[in-house]
């Protein structure tokens, strides 16, 4: 009996040794690998499995694609807005409305208004640089912008007029007497509805008591000068013959960077979708 068991054991070893492959890979059952007859196709069993989490990973490329589509829509809206404002800047001027609420709806609209300046109550918005074009941030030497109360001839209301830019050497009104226009004047201007609050934390605070103004606080400035909360900015053609204040200082700050956002989101969507497909392609084809 002992010799019989030994013979059986020896025979089993012979059979197992015959299953060894020439490349040294032996067959082992149920280890999660494919047949050693195809050594270049050794994949784990988990590669052929699709779970709920696998499908949920598609939320990343889907969300990125949706954000890309949203940026396309935003780009179209922004371009239409810029085109609308450009058209208003080039349109024939209309009479400035009497109602402040109506003025609020006319941002960057060209208007005309007739009245008289109160030069003795002008204030300087400083520091400012001379702007060259409405949509261009290019600037020149430092200076200030002159804001002067203006009494309308048709209604008697007092409004504010940004007359334009002056260099630092002309801050004193006595140095630019030729530009201090007297009597009834018809101005061509652009409606400006400034945003509330300081532009950023780096801008100094205004000091109404000392008549120092660094940013356009329309409610406070109107209160200080006893005017309506309406301000218009004269166009370049309303610049005095003396040259100062120099009009046409309206700047439109509208950022249109949606193209780079479109590229970013669509690239992220495509990349993550490709990564998902590479990871689960075997499971997809097996199904």
Strand ranges (E), the chain: 94-95, 110-117, 123-131, 139-152, 158-167, 185-192, 231-234
Q: If DSSP codes are grouped into helix, strand and coil, which group holds residue 99?
A: coil
Q: Across the 287 residues of the chain, what is the mean pLDDT of every consecutive 10-residue run?
A: 48 47 49 47 53 86 94 92 82 93 92 96 91 53 92 96 93 92 94 88 90 94 95 91 88 80 94 90 73
Q: What is the gyration radius of the CA atoms in the chain, in angstroms?
A: 38
- Let me know: does 207 contact 118? Beta carbons within 8 Å: no
Number of other CB atoms surrounding residue 71 within 10 Å = 20
Strand partners, 165: 145, 246
pLDDT at 139: 55
pTM across the whole model: 0.65
DSSP category for residue 213: B
pLDDT at 14: 44
Question: Please, what sign has the CA dihedral across residues 164, 167, 171, 175?
Answer: negative
What's the token pair of residue 215?
């940013």
- Let me know: does 166 contact 245? Beta carbons within 8 Å: yes
DSSP category for residue 1: -
CA pair distance 205, 214, nearest whole angstrom: 7
pLDDT at 38: 47
Q: If DSSP codes are grouped into helix, strand and coil, which group holds residue 246?
A: strand
Residue 78's alpha-carbon distances to 84, 104, 134, 210, 270, in angstroms, are: 10, 20, 16, 40, 25
Closest-CA residue to 33 (of 46, 19, 21): 46
CA pair distance 27, 229, nearest whole angstrom: 89
Q: If DSSP codes are grouped into helix, strand and coil, which group holds residue 212?
A: strand
Q: If DSSP codes are grouped into helix, strand and coil, which group holds residue 16?
A: helix
pLDDT at 86: 80
pLDDT at 136: 47
> 264 Cβ partners below 8 Å, 6+ apart?
none
CA pair distance 215, 231, nearest whole angstrom: 14
């Amino acid at each position: 009996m002992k010799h019989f068991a030994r013979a059986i054991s020896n025979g089993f070893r012979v059979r197992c040794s015959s299953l060894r492959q020439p490349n040294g890979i032996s067959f082992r059952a149920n280890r999660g690998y494919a047949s050693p007859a195809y050594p270049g196709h050794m994949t784990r069993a988990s590669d052929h499995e699709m779970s709920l989490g696998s499908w949920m990973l598609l939320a990343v490329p889907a969300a990125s694609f949706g954000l890309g589509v949203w940026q396309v829509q935003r780009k179209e809206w922004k371009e239409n807005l810029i085109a609308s404002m450009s058209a208003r800047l080039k349109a024939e001027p209309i009479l400035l409305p009497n109602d402040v609420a109506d003025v609020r709806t006319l941002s960057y609209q060209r208007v005309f208004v007739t009245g008289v300046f109160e030069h003795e109550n002008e204030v300087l918005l400083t520091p400012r640089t001379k702007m060259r074009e409405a949509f261009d941030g290019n600037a020149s030497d430092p200076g200030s912008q002159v804001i002067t109360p203006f009494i309308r001839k048709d209604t008697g209301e007092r409004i504010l007029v940004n007359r334009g830019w002056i260099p630092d050497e002309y801050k004193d009104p006595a140095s630019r007497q030729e530009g201090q226009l007297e009597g009834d004047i018809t101005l061509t201007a652009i409606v400006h509805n400034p945003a509330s609050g300081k532009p950023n934390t780096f801008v100094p605070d205004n000091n109404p008591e000392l008549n120092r103004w660094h940013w356009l606080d329309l409610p406070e400035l109107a209160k200080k000068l006893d005017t309506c909360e309406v301000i218009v900015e004269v166009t370049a053609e309303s610049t005095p013959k003396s040259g100062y204040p120099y009009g046409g200082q309206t700047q439109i700050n509208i950022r249109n960077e949606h193209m780079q956002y479109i590229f970013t989101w669509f690239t992220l969507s495509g990349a993550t979708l490709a990564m998902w497909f590479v990871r689960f392609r075997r499971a997809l084809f097996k199904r």
